[in-house]
Structure 1
Amino acid sequence: MENLLEKMKEAVKYIEGQTSGMKPEFGLILGSGLGELADEIEEAVKIDYSDIPNFPVSTVEGHAGKLVIGKLKGKNVIAMQGRFHFYEGYSMQEVTFPVRVMKGLGVHSIVVTNACGGMNKAFEPGDLMLIEDHLNMTGANPLIGSNESEFGPRFPDMSRAYTPSYLETAKKVAETINLKIQQGVYAGITGPTYMTPAELIMLRNLGADTIGMSTVPEVIVASHMGLKVLGISCVTDMAIGEELEPLTHAQVVEVANRAKPKFIELVKEFVSAV
């Protein structure tokens, strides 16, 4: 995406014009089947992605394709009902463009969520996992190309991409609301195919607990810009290579829908606590 800084400023100016300049604190990126959290936002302004200059348009079932700006538990938030994926044909810069825009609007932190496959045999469908680290298995990186110093450094550090204090806060919140919570490493792949049994066994042996087709690019860009990050995966199916069953996207969305109430409560209470 050429002139990325200029394109970001155009999008920011448009959104500010729709929201009377309200400054969001938290950005929420809501994955497959998880977009209903945005319906909990009060005093909400909703903007179609197609109306925002330079914004891509979500093409995946379960992704509404709207920005929702308002208040959640007393905090100013901006939520993406649906995200963009590399497998849709977008560049990595386009996939992560909304994170740039959130930063331009004043966001200091993002909560990034996804629906994923569980490779850790201790997990089960419907579990929520706090992401402590990731494996970038996409073969790409959204920071390839010229670097805008206004965004961040040429060689950003990723050792604390998932903010340790946010991870601890989320665990305490889960305990307070009596929610069973998992914690582990997320492997990001390009998709759109689900993985073969051999590929899943390889990734598990490399240290991954879950696998999905998003999140990693957004977190890289968030880290580049100095944003704090909490990552939450909703395990929608078990991706155990030795026991692999055929899988459809409809099944993924169905399990994500069942997990929504506890997911929504966790995010709301986390936003309230930080």
Structure 2
Amino acid sequence: MLAAHRQGAYRLRFDWGPTGAAALIEDCDVAVVVDVLSFTTTLTVALDGGVSVYPYRWDPESAAGYAAERGATVAVGRSRAVPGEVSLSPVSVRAAFGRGGLTDVGGNRLVLPSPNGSALCFGLADAGVDVVGASLRNATAVARWLSARVGAAGPPRVAVVAAGERWPDGAIRPGLEDLWGAGAVLRALGALEAEAASPEARAAAEAFAAAEGDLQARLRDCASGRELVDKGFGDDVDIAAELDTSAVVPLLRGEAFVDASS
């Protein structure tokens, strides 16, 4: 990894996917993972309901066993879910907790696999940094929590990592939704004004600032949003657009995300 790719001269950094995370986190204190459609959005909805969330790689066969070992519910793929079943869809998670909680063995524990954000968090679990989940729903709450973490060495060094999507060949497809989500966190951290922000971080903050006034329509019209709308999951996109409606700060403690704000 080239030193220039580490953005090491800056406290606020931004990059994409697992390779980008590996480039940034060597001397960082916190990795903020953003996967707006839909892992980190669904994560915030679950924590709003008082549920601990276990991230997991996208492997449906082993995810069920992993959940059973932890007495947790496992979320199935969005397109595979039957009515009433919990999936990666934030609508399904909100509906489940609106009925008073999950009804199977995992009443307050949820294993949430996804091929991008969740797998990225799972991979970062042993990286020696704090791992936080952020979306548009809780961007300001995460930034406030990070800003309060001033230690002897000063403010934390933060790597904001956009999960992105995947092309059919497995390569990362950068998605506007994650650029905006990352930018929302970085803008709230002061990246538009701070000399501590890398050019990459500043550009993400600028992209969010440009989209903020028309966020829901832009989310529905970007490639990832159109894909979900076309598949009948437009309500998931609308939940993702609920800017700063959640105060939760998902912090990975051990294997599970818990709310660090409480």
How high is the TM-score relative to the length of structure 2? 0.32
How high is the TM-score relative to the length of structure 1? 0.31
More strand by share: 1
Q: Say which structure, 1 or 2, has more relative contact order (CA 8 Å, 6+ apart).
A: 2
More helix by share: 2
